Structure 1
Amino acid sequence: MGLIIKAISTKKELKEFIKFPDRLYSGNKLYVPAIHSNELLTLSFDKNPAFEFCRAKYWLAYDNGEIVGRIAGIINDRYNEKHNIKYARFGWLDFVNDKKVLMLLFQAARQWALSENMEYLHGPLGFSSFDASGILIGGFDEMSTSFAHYNFPYYSKLIEEFGYKKDVDWVEYNIKVPEYVPEKFVVGAELIKKRYNLHSASLKNKKDILKYADDIFKLINNEYKDIYAFSQLSKKQIMALKKQFALFLRPEYISIVLNSTNEVVAFGITMPSLAQAQQKAKGKLFPFGFIHIMNALKKNNTVEALLIAVKKDYQNKGVNGIIFTDIMSAYIKNGINNFESTREMENNVKINNLWNKFEYRQHKRTRCYIKQL
């Protein structure tokens, strides 16, 4: 039978596509399995709202009947139309250490992209910025965060051998939570509030958070619009994201900053790390995976950043100080000593400079590649 590539055509094959990395990284203590049910929703044409403006195709590579690689091809028409480009994306890329396997995967994605009149192939990227993206090129001795994707060091080497070049890099930081909230943070936050007539939303439960959700996503669409690979979220996508993340939210780890008319002008959303819980769950929420997730939400020493945004009119005015002052006391109270930033553009100086006030280290780097077809 030998080495072959096959486009996915059944739900059984899609489930095999989803589970392949779990076998590839079996025994690896740094790999964090994605939740299979969430992956199934994302990749299903009839479940993911992104398919209102995206097209996709998935392939599995087999060697004598055994799965040895996977890749997704995605075209985000909304993103292409906005930027007047013809880009296809590749994502969900995993493969054994064999150049021939990667060649088959890239050939399949390339031929499909050409048949759809695309001019470039870039990735790894998903349907939206909420999907895992990038190839890890630094930090192979660090555990992946909850919603990121770990990979072996040979990935980047083989990808580059096929002529793919760096398009952008993302970096990640580990920040040590101080033993107490610095007084200058507290004083500074109060001064900023008075100067610009701002206040922090009272968040006692998830209902308090969700009542601001639409304004938060509106701010995301406005302030993230020029971020690499971001495309505006639709109403259906927003509804799906609310449902997906509602379970994981803890009010004390979230800050929402309002102006005098109670308009959301900034927010920071962090959550307890689920990485170790997902390892214990092995990709399955039931029967016991859900218990591991709930335990991690209640007792943890690490939090991860999900989202942060400040309305343009309030940027460079110290509003970030309000956000960190709001949530830092909760970290200290609950025994949190590690803060994991999720992937940030390497040239996003405004965000990167936030960590200079703390003990920190830049410990991971991830790359998005591009190649003209």
Structure 2
Amino acid sequence: MSSVRIVKVADRKGLEEFIQFHYDLYRGDPYDVPNLRSDELRTLSRDKNAAFDFCEADYFLAYKDGRVAGRVAAIVNNRANERWQRKSVRFGWIDFVDDREVSSALLKAVEDWGRERGMTEIVGPLGFTDMDPEGMLTEGFDQLGTQATIYNYPYYPQHIESMGGWEKDNDYVEFKMFVPDEIPDKYTKVARMVEQRYNLHVKKLTRREVLREGYGQKIFEVINETFKDLYGYSQLTPRQIDQYVDMYLPMADLNLITLVEDWNADRKLVGVGITIPSLSRAFQKCRDGRLWPFGWWHVLRALKFHKTEGVDLLLMGVLPEYRMKGANALMFADLIPWYRKYGFKWGESQVEMETNENVQSQWQYLDKVQHKRRRCYRKGL
């Protein structure tokens, strides 16, 4: 008889315990970057996350010897399942102590939950949408995590791969790029060429344009079109877009956001580059994900005063019909001088499908290293 007890989260107290477990498990770890508690609450709350317009979810805690020993979220994204013609239940927010009885019990809870809803496979780690962290780290355990990705102990994939029935569904890679002393000649030449030949031009935003003239919505419409054919993607709804604009853009340093417009098409927005100062060290200093009493100062120092060595390339996208026209060179020719000015030494690419050569070719003129790999697993039910 199993000594692990699985309990479904049923109230705010249980949700707080669900969120707290990650902070407890990774306390003091030099590589994990814990999310802000307020962001976790917003994402996991049915009344606050617009993804619940088309998603179902429940959260489970594993108890052993009277203590929390693991957690997992079970999610069905109906919009993604319809788009990709799959009946997938996703597992996400998975954490567990190094005990295979615990990890097995957590995943079984998700499997049973999915079967009850007619699902035929379990996949993950995935969130509600691509805007949530995804993929279990399989390489790069000695590398600092980022705000937008998952960090996990090396024993996590060992547990999954020892259970039987699980297989690779998708792998992601991540790159660390080093900020050059000067803009690479290739970017400069291509940027000049695309301005002259295709009449594409850099657009820098004002705060008014973001908040009052709809540019925030336009940005995410380009992201929707750019990402629509990527693994498991479900297009963001207008309500989700409004939510992300409100969450991320008001505090953004607009010098680190570069857009590309086609002046032959009434200044149509065709490319988006959203980058932010790395918040990894700042978030590590927010005890248990709390901004108060002192965490806010570390975040402010990174965001506003650029007291960080890295920059996260959070969202980079160019409409498919413009990818071969060199629009990405325009973005880097504009952004690299800002990185130099702010003193950034390196940038993180975030997750990229290992097969996405178009995205990876963006970094070909930079000194770089592929320093992380992560995997989404699949199992038939």
For residues 353 and 185 of structure 1, what CA distance do their matches in structure 2 show? 12
Show CA shifts across 1:27-53 (max 9, x none): 211111111111111111111111110
**For residues 154-233 of structure 1, what are the structure 2 equivalents within 5 Å?**
154-163=155-164, 164-203=166-205, 205-210=206-211, 211-233=214-236
Show CA shifts across 1:67-89 (max 9, x none): 00000100001111122221110
**For residues 239-254 of structure 1, what are the structure 2 equivalents within 5 Å?**
239-254=242-257
Structure 2: gaps spanning 5 or more residues: none
Report deviation, 1:208.
3.6
Q: Which moved more, 1:205-214 or 1:21-30?
A: 205-214
Is 1:61 matched with 2:62? yes
Partner SS state of residue 224, structure 2:
helix
For residues 186 and 90 of structure 1, what CA distance do their matches in structure 2 show? 44
For residues 11 and 204 of structure 2, what CA distance do their matches in structure 1 show? 48
For residues 333 and 10 of structure 1, what CA distance do their matches in structure 2 show? 48
Aligned length: 372
CA contact (8 A) 1:206 1:250 kept: no
Show CA shifts across 1:313-353 (max 9, x none): 21111111001001111011111110111011011101112
Aligned to 2:241: 238
Aligned AA (1:143): L
Aligned to 1:17: 18
Aligned to 1:116: 117
For residues 236 and 44 of structure 1, what CA distance do their matches in structure 2 show? 15
Aligned AA (1:347): T
**For residues 352-367 of structure 1, what are the structure 2 equivalents within 5 Å?**
352-367=360-375
For residues 235 and 101 of structure 1, what CA distance do their matches in structure 2 show? 39
Partner SS state of residue 350, structure 2:
coil
Aligned to 2:323: 315
Is 1:371 matched with 2:356? no
Is 1:278 matched with 2:283? yes
Aligned AA (1:132): P
Partner SS state of residue 324, structure 2:
coil
For residues 124 and 178 of structure 1, what CA distance do their matches in structure 2 show? 34
Aligned AA (2:294): F
For residues 158 and 286 of structure 2, what CA distance do their matches in structure 1 show? 31
Aligned AA (1:356): Q
Aligned AA (2:33): V
Report deviation, 1:19.
1.2
For residues 31 and 369 of structure 1, what CA distance do their matches in structure 2 show? 21
Report deviation, 1:248.
4.4
Aligned AA (1:166): K
- Cα root mean square deviation, aligned: 1.3
- TM-score by structure 2 length? 0.95
Aligned AA (1:130): M
Report deviation, 1:185.
2.3
Report deviation, 1:9.
0.6
CA contact (8 A) 1:209 1:251 kept: no
For residues 124 and 271 of structure 1, what CA distance do their matches in structure 2 show? 25
Report deviation, 1:209.
4.1
Report deviation, 1:182.
2.9
CA contact (8 A) 2:204 2:255 kept: no
Partner SS state of residue 371, structure 1:
strand
Partner SS state of residue 285, structure 2:
helix
Aligned AA (1:259): D
Which residue of the other structure, out of 265, 268, 272, is the alignment partner of 2:273? 268
For residues 279 and 170 of structure 1, what CA distance do their matches in structure 2 show? 24
For residues 222 and 212 of structure 1, what CA distance do their matches in structure 2 show? 15
Q: Which moved more, 1:296-305 or 1:183-192?
A: 183-192
Q: Which moved more, 1:176-185 or 1:166-175?
A: 176-185
For residues 251 and 259 of structure 1, what CA distance do their matches in structure 2 show? 20
Report deviation, 1:2.
4.2
For residues 309 and 107 of structure 2, what CA distance do their matches in structure 1 show? 40
Aligned to 2:313: 305
Is 1:338 matched with 2:373? no
Structure 1: gaps spanning 5 or more residues: none
Show CA shifts across 1:124-169 (max 9, x none): 0000101111110000000101121210101001111122111101
Aligned AA (2:350): T
Aligned AA (1:195): R
For residues 342 and 199 of structure 2, what CA distance do their matches in structure 1 show? 30
